[in-house]
Amino acid sequence: MHAQPMNDALTLHTLDVEAIRNDFPILKQESDPRLIYLDSAATSQTPDCVVNAMDEYYRTYNANIHRGIYRISEEATARYEEARKKIARFINARRSSQIVFTRNTTESINLVAYSWGSANIREGDEILVTVMEHHSNLLPWQLLAQRTGAKLRFIEITEEGLLQLDDLDRLLTERTRIVAMTHVSNVLGTINPIQDITAAAHAVGAKVLIDAAQSVPHLPVDVQQMDCDFLAFSGHKMCGPTGIGVLYGKLDLLEEMPPFLVGGSTIRSVQREHSIYADPPAKFEAGTPSIAEAIGLGAAVDYLRKVGLEAIYAHEHELLEYAHQKLSDIEGLTIYGPKPRQKTGAISLNLDGIHPHDLAGVLDVSGVAIRAGHHCAQPLMQQYDVIATARASFYLYNTLEEIDRLYDGLLTAKKIFTRRRR
């Protein structure tokens, strides 16, 4: 038996979570113990409508796109391009040709670092990132800096896990070519003030790439309002399938950028020694793309829009408020990062004297799935002087009762480990 939410005022009221849970077969699965999935920041669960959209492709119009002059290929082409339009609309891009399909956020960022980076970064230039970046938004810039002789600079964070923006004036100079930063920290949940930073970056002539892997799934994102130059995110973190990611870019930039991965589909014409490349997005989608996955992501975006991003954001906020309050009475517990007000649904924590792996291991015994490790953010770990943290993260299908189970599990871990401490 698990405790009911103790506080009536905290009963969930923004989303019909039970109805939502019915869309996710994995959450309805009989198992002992039942799955309590608190790792959506790593990858989200997939609703049936998304799986069905892909199955429909494979079972009724499986064909390669863009070149086939027969019905199922015309159908596949239409659905693939329709998915692109849905995604453009979802982030309010002006045109669907600004949406490039990739495998994941990581590939999207590498594309910019190689293509835009090689054409625009020279020795002595500066690339500005933050210490809270995921490795996927740090390593491509490290390599670019090493290749070109450019310099990486870092925006530091406060103890509370907010960006130290006092530093910004000093860090942003006319040598800064690009600011590459995360919208939402995958470890701390911190929501960064993108619009302000983008404006400041543009004022010195720098471009801005936003790692939106943790924001596009969880809150309304409007690229025109943000005014960012590039935005990257992944399908598998937003109810979509694996194997599909997105790079959004301003059209003039995408047009100027040299090709990156090349091959089938990226061209206008090919001669033995020389080729002319196509317009974006085709220029950047080399070879047979993730057709079923793009269509699946289109279905995921339909699903998220139906539920509503504002509602999802509000729901996660309720879960966060409840969790912060509930967990705060566990002695020896540290939560990293800001107050719920300034973040989305992730809680990184440590419990004195217990390795985060062991926390995750004990929780797993009662079916609670959380993540433990460096979360691909070692520079941030170094900043907090920890090797690892345990992270619980939420999404539209999570409930208050699941947070109670997390709480119970943390207490169990404490019991197992402290009983034995000398």
Ligand X SMILES: Cc1ncc(COP(=O)(O)O)c(C=O)c1O
Q: How many residues bind its own copies (CB under 8 A)?
A: 93
Give alpha helix (H) positions in 204-354: 223-226, 251-256, 291-307, 309-327
Q: How far is CA 264 from the centre of its chain?
A: 29
Cα within 13 Å of Cα(247), Cβ side: 29
169, 158 Cβ separation under 8 angstroms: no
Q: Which one-letter DSSP state was computed for residue 184?
A: B
Contact status: 93 vs other proteins (CB under 8 A): yes
Residues 251-310 close enough to bind its own copies by CB under 8 A: 259, 261-267, 269-275, 286-293
Nearer to ligand X, 134 or 207 (CB): 134
Give the residue closest to ligand X by C-beta: 287
Q: 391: which strand partners?
A: 348, 371
Residue 214, binding choice from ligand X, other proteins, its own copies, none, Cβ under 5 to 8 Å by partner class: ligand X
Peptide bond into 241 cis (omega under 30): no
Give alpha helix (H) positions in 218-308: 223-226, 251-256, 291-307
Answer yes or no: 376 catalytic: yes
Contact status: 175 vs other proteins (CB under 8 A): no
Peptide bond into 33 cis (omega under 30): yes
Residue 171, binding choice from its own copies, ligand X, other proteins, none, Cβ under 5 to 8 Å by partner class: none
In the bound complex, what is the minimum distance in angstroms from residue 58's beta carbon to other proteins?
20
- Contact letters (x/-) for its own copies, 333-372, by CB under 8 A? ------------------------x--xx-xx---xxxxx
Contact status: 135 vs its own copies (CB under 8 A): yes
Residues 42-61 close enough to bind its own copies by CB under 8 A: 42-43, 45-46, 48, 50-51, 54-55, 58-61
In the bound complex, what is the minimum distance in angstroms from residue 22's beta carbon to other proteins?
28
Residues 355-374 close enough to bind other proteins by CB under 8 A: 355-358, 361-362, 365, 372-374
- Contact letters (x/-) for other proteins, 377-406, by CB under 8 A? -x--x-----xx------------------
Separation of alpha carbons 185 and 165, rounded Å: 16
| DSSP-derived secondary structure for 240-262 | --SS-EEEEE-HHHHHHSPP-S-
Residue 302, binding choice from ligand X, its own copies, other proteins, none, Cβ under 5 to 8 Å by partner class: none
218-233 burial, b at 16+ Cβ within 10 Å, e below that, comes to: bbebebeebebbbbbb
- For β-strands 245-249 and 267-270, DSSP reports them as unpaired
Residues 225-244 close enough to bind its own copies by CB under 8 A: 234, 236, 241-244
Residues 230-249 close enough to bind ligand X by CB under 6 A: 234
Q: What residue ranges bind ligand X (CB under 6 A)?
A: 104-106, 134, 136-137, 182, 186, 211, 213-214, 234, 264, 287-288, 376
